[in-house]
Amino acid sequence: MRLQPLVAGLAAGLLGSLAVSCGLTDVFDPPGAADISFVFADSLLSVGDTIPLTVVVRTAAGDLANPHLRVTSLDPTLLQVNSRGDTLIGIGPGRATLDVQLVSSVITGAMPDTLYTIRVRP
């Protein structure tokens, strides 16, 4: 009768350690580029428009909540980004390019940066 509690305790310990090790595999993986993609809400605005920049950051584990992004307009005569990096301002007509970089201390390896084209119409 004493063997049954021992077997149950060993089985519970084995299952617990298996669950913990499965949850920590990402922590102990070697550094490398993460599988990350950006999804932009808007790709068209007019001269004089001021719209919020809405970007969803998708990973294999799911969408990141409140990602810290560094956004730069490569064509500031066509499109500008406010100082907080959360608003786009249409300045002149044409196709402007945004450079979007994810800033994260959790994701190891090279951070992906994405060039995204936005059309500014007259």
Range of the domain at 1: 1-30
Question: Do 20 and 56 belong together in one domain?
Answer: no
Question: Do 116 and 60 belong together in one domain?
Answer: yes
Tens digit of pLDDT for each residue in 102-122? 887 665 555 556 888 889 999
Of 13-17, 27-31, 66-70, 89-93, the one with minimum mean pLDDT is 27-31
Question: Do 87 and 105 belong together in one domain?
Answer: yes
Question: Do 52 and 76 belong together in one domain?
Answer: yes
Tens digit of pLDDT for each residue in 12-25? 565 555 544 444 44
Q: Which residues contact 109 (CB under 8 A, 6 or more apart)?
A: 31, 32, 33, 34
Question: Do 67 and 45 belong together in one domain?
Answer: yes
Question: Do 23 and 76 belong together in one domain?
Answer: no
Question: Do 102 and 43 belong together in one domain?
Answer: yes
* Number of neighbours of residue 79 by Cβ within 10 angstroms: 25
Question: Do 25 and 41 belong together in one domain?
Answer: no
Question: Do 15 and 74 belong together in one domain?
Answer: no
> Which tokens in the block code for residue 23?
């949850």
Question: Do 1 and 49 belong together in one domain?
Answer: no
Question: Do 48 and 88 belong together in one domain?
Answer: yes
Across residues 42-64, what is the average pLDDT? 83
pLDDT tops 80 at residue 87: yes
For residue 63, give the CATH number of its domain.
2.60.40.1080
Total domains, the chain: 2
